[in-house]
């Protein structure tokens, strides 16, 4: 596959969802910072919120208080372009723009995962995933967006052809590997002074296990496979007009 000098990826993330022993809690995960703070000195809490409703027959629904829960921590690099997450349900490595190569991302994430694995001692892994958010700046004016991206639908000729808002999401399954891909296409709201149409192509590919040992070699074989699937989706979605924008 071609490598672009100006890749449109604004964020790439590698995610591993894992089941940890009951004894491993957020206090234990905080020690992960000691392992990575030379490269990721900033610490942030990873929080989740939930809220529910309580119904009683013949009464108005009762709104329950918002519950906040600490799930783990995010550790951020000095230049804010890298984030590693250590959570009670898994591990994530985020790489913000500029994106370089899969080999570089994969190698760094593998080392960080090994440190997480040594500390958190996961029992098994339920999911591995790779997600890439692409921002494709199409020069204006543009008559037909399909000159750049083949995922746009064909509108009936009787309809007005100027699309002002657009959102499309589809889920595809790779029959060979059993992996899934969630492909989302939209564009940022047009700004009056803008000279480009900012197209957002979000590709999220993942493989779900019933339960598998947290063996790094096996997981990275799956991630390499997912990277190939992500590339197939990306390259088949775009035309040569779009690819020329990245060279």
Digit-by-digit pLDDT tens for the chain (247 residues) are 788 888 999 999 999 999 999 999 999 999 999 999 999 999 999 987 665 666 667 677 776 666 688 999 999 999 999 999 999 999 999 999 999 999 999 999 999 999 999 999 999 999 999 999 999 999 988 878 899 999 988 888 888 877 778 899 999 999 988 999 999 999 988 777 889 989 999 999 999 998 899 999 999 999 999 999 999 999 999 999 999 999 8
Sign of CA dihedral 9, 14, 17, 22: negative
In a domain? residue 227:
yes
Q: Tell me which residue of 115, 67, 92 sits closest to 11, measured CA to CA.
A: 92
In a domain? residue 138:
yes
In a domain? residue 1:
no
Angstrom distance (rounded) from CA 221 to CA 22: 28
The DSSP annotation for 30-73 comes to HTHHHHHTTT--EEEEEEEEE--EE--TTSPPEEPPPEEEEEEE
Q: Give 245's DSSP letter.
A: T
In a domain? residue 3:
no
Angstrom distance (rounded) from CA 108 to CA 40: 13
H/E element holding 26? helix 26-30
In a domain? residue 208:
yes
In a domain? residue 32:
yes
Which range marks the domain in which residue 21 is found?
Answer: 9-244
Number of domains comprising the chain? 1
Please, how many CA atoms are within 13 Å of residue 45, restricted to the half-sphere of its CB? Answer: 9
């Amino acid at each position: 596959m071609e490598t672009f000098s100006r890749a449109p990826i604004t964020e790439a993330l590698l995610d591993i969802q894992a089941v940890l022993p009951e004894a491993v809690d957020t206090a234990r995960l905080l020690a992960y910072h000691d392992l990575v703070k030379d490269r990721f000195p900033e610490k942030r809490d990873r929080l989740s919120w939930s809220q529910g409703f309580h119904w009683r027959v013949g009464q108005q629904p009762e709104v329950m208080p918002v519950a906040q829960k600490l799930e783990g921590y995010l550790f951020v690099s000095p230049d804010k372009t890298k984030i590693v997450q250590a959570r009670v349900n898994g591990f994530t490595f985020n790489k913000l723009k500029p994106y370089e190569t899969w080999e570089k991302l994969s190698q760094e994430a593998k080392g960080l995962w090994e440190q997480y694995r040594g500390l958190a001692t996961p029992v098994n892994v339920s999911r591995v995933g790779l997600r890439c958010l692409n921002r494709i700046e199409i020069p204006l004016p543009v008559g037909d967006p399909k000159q750049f991206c083949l995922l746009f639908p064909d509108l009936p000729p009787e309809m007005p052809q100027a699309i002002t808002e657009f959102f499309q999401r589809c889920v595809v399954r790779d029959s060979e590997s059993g992996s899934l891909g969630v492909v989302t296409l939209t564009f940022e709201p047009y700004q009056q002074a803008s000279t480009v149409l900012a197209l957002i192509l979000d590709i999220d590919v993942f493989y779900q296990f019933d339960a598998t040992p947290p063996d790094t070699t096996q997981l990275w074989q799956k991630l390499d496979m997912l990277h190939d699937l992500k590339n197939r989706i990306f390259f088949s979605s775009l035309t040569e007009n779009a690819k020329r924008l990245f060279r």
